[in-house]
Chains A and B, each alone.
Chain A
Amino acid sequence: GESVGLHLPTLSVQEGDNSIINCAYSNSASDYFIWYKQESGKGPQFIIDIRSNMDKRQGQRVTVLLNKTVKHLSLQIAATQPGDSAVYFCAENIGEDSGAGSYQLTFGKGTKLSVIP
Protein backbone atom coordinates (compact mmCIF):
# COMPACT_ATOMS: atom_id res chain seq x y z
CA GLY A 1 0.00 0.00 0.00
CA GLU A 2 0.98 3.62 -0.24
CA SER A 3 2.49 5.13 2.85
CA VAL A 4 4.65 7.81 4.32
CA GLY A 5 7.91 6.67 5.88
CA LEU A 6 11.20 7.91 7.22
CA HIS A 7 14.71 6.89 6.20
CA LEU A 8 16.22 7.13 9.71
CA PRO A 9 14.49 6.48 13.00
CA THR A 10 17.13 8.34 15.05
CA LEU A 11 19.49 11.20 14.39
CA SER A 12 22.15 12.66 16.67
CA VAL A 13 23.75 16.00 15.85
CA GLN A 14 26.17 18.33 17.54
CA GLU A 15 24.78 21.61 18.81
CA GLY A 16 25.32 24.27 16.20
CA ASP A 17 25.41 21.85 13.28
CA ASN A 18 22.67 21.61 10.68
CA SER A 19 20.19 18.73 10.83
CA ILE A 20 18.50 17.03 7.93
CA ILE A 21 15.52 14.77 8.49
CA ASN A 22 14.26 12.80 5.51
CA CYS A 23 10.89 11.43 4.54
CA ALA A 24 9.81 9.29 1.60
CA TYR A 25 6.28 9.11 0.32
CA SER A 26 4.74 6.83 -2.23
CA ASN A 27 1.30 8.31 -2.94
CA SER A 28 1.74 10.11 -6.23
CA ALA A 29 -1.53 11.97 -5.60
CA SER A 30 -0.13 13.66 -2.49
CA ASP A 31 0.43 17.33 -3.00
CA TYR A 32 0.42 18.75 0.50
CA PHE A 33 3.06 17.97 3.10
CA ILE A 34 3.58 18.98 6.71
CA TRP A 35 6.28 18.61 9.31
CA TYR A 36 5.39 18.31 12.99
CA LYS A 37 7.65 18.37 16.03
CA GLN A 38 6.78 16.45 19.18
CA GLU A 39 8.73 17.13 22.34
CA SER A 40 8.67 14.73 25.23
CA GLY A 41 5.39 14.94 27.13
CA LYS A 42 3.75 17.19 24.57
CA GLY A 43 1.55 16.84 21.53
CA PRO A 44 2.81 17.38 17.97
CA GLN A 45 3.40 20.99 17.03
CA PHE A 46 3.19 22.32 13.48
CA ILE A 47 6.54 23.42 12.06
CA ILE A 48 6.12 24.08 8.37
CA ASP A 49 4.13 22.94 5.37
CA ILE A 50 4.61 22.89 1.61
CA ARG A 51 2.41 22.35 -1.38
CA SER A 52 3.51 20.50 -4.47
CA ASN A 53 3.68 23.62 -6.62
CA MET A 54 6.78 24.55 -4.63
CA ASP A 55 10.07 22.70 -4.16
CA LYS A 56 11.37 24.73 -1.25
CA ARG A 57 9.94 26.72 1.61
CA GLN A 58 11.75 28.46 4.41
CA GLY A 59 10.76 29.31 7.92
CA GLN A 60 12.66 30.45 10.94
CA ARG A 61 15.79 28.24 10.97
CA VAL A 62 13.88 25.52 9.11
CA THR A 63 13.66 24.71 5.43
CA VAL A 64 11.50 22.07 3.79
CA LEU A 65 12.56 20.65 0.44
CA LEU A 66 10.25 18.69 -1.82
CA ASN A 67 11.46 16.51 -4.66
CA LYS A 68 8.41 15.23 -6.47
CA THR A 69 10.48 13.28 -8.98
CA VAL A 70 11.72 10.86 -6.34
CA LYS A 71 8.88 11.46 -3.89
CA HIS A 72 11.16 12.75 -1.18
CA LEU A 73 10.66 15.37 1.51
CA SER A 74 13.27 16.73 3.87
CA LEU A 75 13.38 19.08 6.82
CA GLN A 76 16.55 21.05 7.38
CA ILE A 77 17.20 22.71 10.72
CA ALA A 78 19.96 25.29 10.77
CA ALA A 79 22.24 25.74 13.77
CA THR A 80 20.55 22.98 15.73
CA GLN A 81 19.91 23.80 19.37
CA PRO A 82 19.19 21.60 22.41
CA GLY A 83 15.58 22.77 22.25
CA ASP A 84 15.28 21.12 18.85
CA SER A 85 15.57 17.68 20.46
CA ALA A 86 12.26 15.99 19.68
CA VAL A 87 10.56 13.52 17.39
CA TYR A 88 9.80 14.92 13.95
CA PHE A 89 6.90 13.63 11.85
CA CYS A 90 6.16 14.20 8.23
CA ALA A 91 2.60 13.93 7.00
CA GLU A 92 1.03 13.98 3.57
CA ASN A 93 -2.37 14.63 2.07
CA ILE A 94 -3.98 14.89 -1.30
CA GLY A 95 -5.09 18.34 -2.37
CA GLU A 96 -8.33 20.14 -1.70
CA ASP A 97 -9.24 19.79 -5.37
CA SER A 98 -9.53 16.09 -4.70
CA GLY A 99 -11.80 16.70 -1.76
CA ALA A 100 -9.23 16.18 0.95
CA GLY A 101 -9.61 17.63 4.40
CA SER A 102 -7.31 18.09 7.33
CA TYR A 103 -8.42 14.77 8.81
CA GLN A 104 -7.04 12.77 5.90
CA LEU A 105 -3.41 13.38 6.72
CA THR A 106 -1.20 10.30 6.67
CA PHE A 107 1.56 10.50 9.25
CA GLY A 108 4.97 8.88 9.19
CA LYS A 109 6.40 7.06 12.21
CA GLY A 110 8.78 9.84 13.18
CA THR A 111 12.50 10.48 13.53
CA LYS A 112 14.00 11.19 16.92
CA LEU A 113 16.47 14.05 16.84
CA SER A 114 18.97 14.26 19.69
CA VAL A 115 21.17 17.32 20.01
CA ILE A 116 24.52 16.82 21.70
CA PRO A 117 25.59 19.90 23.70
Chain B
Amino acid sequence: DGGITQSPKYLFRKEGQNVTLSCEQNLNHDAMYWYRQDPGQGLRLIYYSQIVNDFQKGDIAEGYSVSREKKESFPLTVTSAQKNPTAFYLCASSALLAEGATDTQYFGPGTRLTVL
Protein backbone atom coordinates (compact mmCIF):
# COMPACT_ATOMS: atom_id res chain seq x y z
CA ASP B 1 0.00 0.00 0.00
CA GLY B 2 1.21 3.46 -0.83
CA GLY B 3 1.35 5.91 2.00
CA ILE B 4 3.31 8.08 4.33
CA THR B 5 4.71 6.91 7.64
CA GLN B 6 6.04 8.73 10.66
CA SER B 7 7.98 7.37 13.58
CA PRO B 8 7.95 7.26 16.46
CA LYS B 9 4.33 7.89 17.39
CA TYR B 10 5.34 9.25 20.80
CA LEU B 11 8.65 10.83 21.67
CA PHE B 12 9.98 12.24 24.90
CA ARG B 13 12.83 14.70 25.02
CA LYS B 14 14.89 15.96 27.88
CA GLU B 15 15.94 19.56 28.08
CA GLY B 16 18.95 20.27 25.86
CA GLN B 17 18.55 17.21 23.67
CA ASN B 18 18.18 17.11 19.92
CA VAL B 19 15.66 14.62 18.60
CA THR B 20 14.88 13.49 15.07
CA LEU B 21 11.43 12.66 13.74
CA SER B 22 11.24 10.31 10.80
CA CYS B 23 9.02 10.75 7.73
CA GLU B 24 8.96 8.34 4.79
CA GLN B 25 6.67 8.19 1.75
CA ASN B 26 6.33 5.70 -1.07
CA LEU B 27 3.91 7.77 -3.14
CA ASN B 28 6.63 9.09 -5.46
CA HIS B 29 5.70 12.63 -4.45
CA ASP B 30 8.12 15.46 -5.14
CA ALA B 31 6.96 17.77 -2.35
CA MET B 32 7.18 17.07 1.37
CA TYR B 33 6.22 19.21 4.33
CA TRP B 34 6.53 19.40 8.11
CA TYR B 35 3.80 21.02 10.19
CA ARG B 36 3.48 21.71 13.86
CA GLN B 37 0.05 21.52 15.45
CA ASP B 38 -0.82 23.09 18.78
CA PRO B 39 -4.34 23.19 20.24
CA GLY B 40 -6.42 25.95 18.68
CA GLN B 41 -3.67 27.07 16.29
CA GLY B 42 -4.24 24.89 13.29
CA LEU B 43 -1.26 23.77 11.24
CA ARG B 44 1.89 25.86 11.10
CA LEU B 45 4.47 25.15 8.42
CA ILE B 46 7.99 24.43 9.64
CA TYR B 47 9.86 23.40 6.47
CA TYR B 48 9.02 22.16 3.01
CA SER B 49 10.92 20.60 0.13
CA GLN B 50 10.04 20.40 -3.54
CA ILE B 51 13.07 18.46 -4.73
CA VAL B 52 15.87 16.36 -3.36
CA ASN B 53 18.71 18.30 -1.73
CA ASP B 54 16.63 21.46 -1.52
CA PHE B 55 14.27 22.75 1.17
CA GLN B 56 12.74 26.03 2.27
CA LYS B 57 11.87 27.53 5.63
CA GLY B 58 8.26 27.85 6.56
CA ASP B 59 6.66 30.19 9.07
CA ILE B 60 8.23 28.73 12.22
CA ALA B 61 11.59 27.23 11.20
CA GLU B 62 13.62 28.54 14.13
CA GLY B 63 14.94 25.68 16.29
CA TYR B 64 14.30 23.05 13.63
CA SER B 65 16.38 21.53 10.84
CA VAL B 66 15.65 19.15 7.97
CA SER B 67 17.37 17.23 5.22
CA ARG B 68 16.18 15.79 1.92
CA GLU B 69 18.82 13.38 0.72
CA LYS B 70 16.29 10.99 -0.81
CA LYS B 71 12.97 11.62 -2.48
CA GLU B 72 11.25 9.27 -0.07
CA SER B 73 12.59 10.71 3.18
CA PHE B 74 12.31 14.07 4.94
CA PRO B 75 13.46 13.83 8.57
CA LEU B 76 12.95 16.70 11.00
CA THR B 77 15.36 17.45 13.82
CA VAL B 78 14.08 19.40 16.79
CA THR B 79 17.13 21.08 18.26
CA SER B 80 17.76 22.32 21.76
CA ALA B 81 17.29 25.83 20.39
CA GLN B 82 13.55 25.18 20.10
CA LYS B 83 12.37 26.42 23.47
CA ASN B 84 8.85 25.05 23.42
CA PRO B 85 8.87 21.89 21.31
CA THR B 86 6.00 20.06 22.96
CA ALA B 87 3.48 19.62 20.14
CA PHE B 88 2.00 17.26 17.58
CA TYR B 89 4.14 17.08 14.42
CA LEU B 90 2.68 16.15 11.06
CA CYS B 91 4.51 15.26 7.89
CA ALA B 92 2.81 15.48 4.52
CA SER B 93 3.62 14.90 0.88
CA SER B 94 2.03 15.92 -2.39
CA ALA B 95 2.47 15.77 -6.11
CA LEU B 96 3.39 18.94 -7.96
CA LEU B 97 1.00 19.91 -10.72
CA ALA B 98 1.93 21.33 -14.11
CA GLU B 99 -0.06 24.47 -13.32
CA GLY B 100 2.41 25.34 -10.59
CA ALA B 101 0.39 24.16 -7.64
CA THR B 102 0.27 21.16 -5.40
CA ASP B 103 -2.29 18.41 -5.45
CA THR B 104 -3.86 16.81 -2.42
CA GLN B 105 -1.63 16.56 0.61
CA TYR B 106 -1.25 13.13 2.14
CA PHE B 107 -0.50 13.19 5.84
CA GLY B 108 1.28 10.79 8.09
CA PRO B 109 -0.22 9.72 11.44
CA GLY B 110 1.86 12.24 13.38
CA THR B 111 4.43 12.22 16.15
CA ARG B 112 3.59 13.62 19.56
CA LEU B 113 6.67 15.14 21.13
CA THR B 114 6.77 15.89 24.83
CA VAL B 115 9.56 17.66 26.69
CA LEU B 116 10.24 16.25 30.13
The judgment on whether A and B are partners is no
Q: List A residues at the B interface (Cβ < 8 Å).
A: none
Q: List B residues at the A interface (Cβ < 8 Å).
A: none
